[in-house]
Amino acid sequence: MTWRPQYRSSKFRHVFGKAATKEYCYDGVPITRSVHDNQLCAVNPRFLAVITECAGGGAFLVLPIHHTGKVDPHHPRVSGHRGNVLDIKWNPFNDFCIASCSEDATVKIWDIPKHGILKNVTVPTKELQGHSRRVGLIEWHPTASNILFSTGYDYQVMIWNLDSQEQVMKNPVRTISVHQDVVLSMSFNMDGSRLATSCKDKKIRIIDPRTGALLQESNCKSHKASKVLYLGNLKMLVSTGCSRWNHRQIALWDQEDLSVPLLQEDLDGSSGVIFPFYDPDTHMLYLAGKGDGNIRYYEISSEKPYVHFLTEYRSHLPQKGMGFMPKRGLDVCSCEVFRFYKLVTIKSIIEPLSMIVPRRSETYQEDIYPMTAGNEAALTADDWLAGMDKGPVLMSLKPGSKADSLSDLMSGKALSGSLETRRSQSRPGLLQLSYIQNQLDAKENKEPQPSNQLRPWQDEKNGSAVSNGQEPPQNSPPKTENELRQVFYRQQEEIRRLRELLSQRDVRVMQLELEIKNVRNSQASH
């Protein structure tokens, strides 16, 4: 009998990270110099938000996701806080609503205009005043609409119902007081019926978020947890922290028993906090260290040995924080299964990083894109507060489905990004040509009026003029500095789009010539 090596079969074994080229990065972003251990960045399919350095208060930038390249140093900001902004999170069910918390002990809710921010925003939609000290962390409920959790340096976790009509809210619907120190991270299970927290006292706690009752508490001396994360529906948690010898490590826990971890694994001797990210659809766990340039990724299973190391993405650019795109904003045509947004302070850039499953076929791969959580709430705030629990509303990522309409709003950027990714992976074939032609034909059908017939200050899609969220008289030239800036942005976007169309036509011509040559050679050989 011959010896055969034992390989573990996995469709994600060869996942690789592909950093965006400089053209598709966000350059010149004044990233905050705060030492707070948060992600400092939040992303959805429409906007990118990042906390910035600001004198005399706190502010963050909100950029349209497709406005890559050099960022205007005078770009309008959201600047209504009196202290440094410590955390920002997009509402998972409303792409135009974002929450922020600050050292001024408040949480504020902001509505972002559909066309983006054209002037500084200083007045929030709602202001939450309940904490007595600075607020360091906020989280939205994963399935119930308008339920927000906040925690600060007063050791309290507060639950807010944003359906209230009050503009300034001072009374949360519930306050959880089971922590003895600052809460460092919060994570919900799939239906939001359990809340896991990690605390500065190095303990992990599982809490009933409605009643505030403490259900489980870890007391492991060999693992000091700093971040904790629920692993989807696997009924397990993962935590990152350090060992008693100050080695960075990860630990895996059974959510029903936090007395002893199921697994502990040392990583290295660095000191930066490790941010864990989990994709419940692919069961992949990503570990990104603050101050590192590397991202380790693993596959998680429900049976021993639980954690299977896949590989590591390496980069010489260290990240200060990380944002990630929800699954509904990914480019499924290039087999992208996760996308990070790295905050690189030494270059003042935000670098998109795509995790890609290498596949030869250019068609939609259903096995790596199961039904995933969408942008529709399963419950109202009142239903959840009344005791109901419900899993997330699922959606398909298949192009042409309802979910695809969100990516269509990105001005064709996703199309060009996917083509660039595919061109870098392999030589395009006939299938890619047909894909390009179909996309171009669809785009021409959608735009019966040529864009060059529009006024330069008019919107590309409907020809309506936009100025600071208001509609000026038809065919009026830009009069203010903000309107002129918007004209410039639209012209730049039009030039970039035309260049992309030209490059796609060139690719099509080259490939048709190649196919004709192949056909002639095959006929000659016969």
Chain segment 430-479, per-residue pLDDT in tens? 344 444 455 555 554 544 444 333 333 344 434 333 333 343 334 467 77
Q: Are residues 27 and 129 in the same domain?
A: yes
Count how many domains the chain has. Answer: 2
> What is the per-residue pLDDT for 449?
42
Query: Would 378 be classed as within a structural domain?
Result: yes
Lowest-confidence region among 206-210, 365-369, 463-467: 463-467
Residue 435 included in any domain: no
Q: Which of 112-126, 405-419, 497-511 has the highest mean pLDDT?
A: 112-126
Note whether residue 297 is domain-resident.
yes
Q: Which residues pair with 108 in a beta bridge?
A: 100, 127
Beta strands in 153-257 (DSSP E): 157-161, 168-169, 174-176, 183-188, 195-199, 204-207, 214-217, 224-230, 236-242, 248-254
Q: What is the mean pLDDT of the chain?
A: 83
Same domain, 356 and 491: no
Last residue of one domain, picked from the residues 348, 363, 395? 395
Q: By residue range, what is the domain housing residue 61? A: 16-395
23: number of Cβ within 10 Å:
11
The predicted model scores a pTM of: 0.75
The end-to-end CA distance of the chain, in Å, is: 46
In a domain, 26, yes or no: yes
In a domain, 279, yes or no: yes
Q: Is residue 10 part of a domain?
A: no
Task: Identify the bridge partners of residue 354 per DSSP, sorted by sequence position.
Answer: 18, 339
Q: Which of 338, 363, 395 is the last residue of a domain?
A: 395
Which of 350, 369, 395 finishes a domain?
395
Structure tokens at 427: 């030589």
520, pLDDT greater than 90: no
Q: Do 500 and 363 have their domain in common? A: no
210-236 average pLDDT score: 90
Q: For residue 438, give Cα distances in angstroms to 407, 443, 510.
A: 16, 8, 17
| 387 and 492 together in one domain | no
% of the chain exceeding 90 in pLDDT: 59
